[in-house]
Structure 1
Amino acid sequence: MYEEIPRVELTPAAADLIRRLHEAHGPLMFHQSGGCCDGSAPMCYPDGEFRTGDSDVLLADLYVDGIEEPVSFWMSRSQFQAWSHTRLIVDVVEGRGSGFSLEAPEGVRFLIRSRVVGA
């Protein structure tokens, strides 16, 4: 039986950080645009704080152990067109990310790693 490869997944470090951010801020969401950092830095917001629209694509609802509701992962449609052949892996690295993303005060930032999805 064929199982579709998840479009977005989390590293254990990303899942741990999401749990901590959820505890402090409640339900969360991600949005990734083609803006800064060549589009490799997804932004984490309280759920609903970033308004999505027709120019955005919902790629995944991410389920994290210990969190009841999923964390939605959105991407701008134009960025999705460029990355549509990849599986996105949300990871965490040291360093300061965007001041608008919830993890900024933690001294770390979310980062996208990717793998090409087979044709």
Structure 2
Amino acid sequence: MPTEDGVTAQMRYYADLIMWRQRAPEVAESLEAEGPPPPEPEDGLTGKVLWYEYHPPSAREYQQFLDAAVAGSAITAEDRDALAELPPIDGVAAIRARLASKDAPEEGTTT
């Protein structure tokens, strides 16, 4: 459950990870080996991607993940059909790449 300021456990994990990378890399390595906490609804599709990178989804979870990706307009129904043929971890990686490319500035623009 997010805190009053809307920060989820997963958000806190990544903020802590950044801090520990700067202050005590060995602590960061330990945190990173464990992976993030499970996503909450507020973490959205990206939270699921980050979780599944450490905890690959079951076949059923993967199908639900693909449905959520279509519902969130991260992929099309045609993409879903193609991704459904991949092993879950490969499909998660493909959606992560898709999300990253949507967040990247368009060529010729500045941030």
TM-score category, normalised to shorter length: under 0.3
Q: Quick check: which one's strand share is greater?
A: 1
TM-score by length of 2: 0.23
Q: Where is the helix percentage greater, Structure 1 or Structure 2?
A: 2
Q: Normalising by the residue count of structure 1, what TM-score does the alignment of the two structures yield?
A: 0.22
* Bigger relative contact order (CA 8 A; separation at least 6): 1
Which protein shows a greater Rg?
Answer: 2
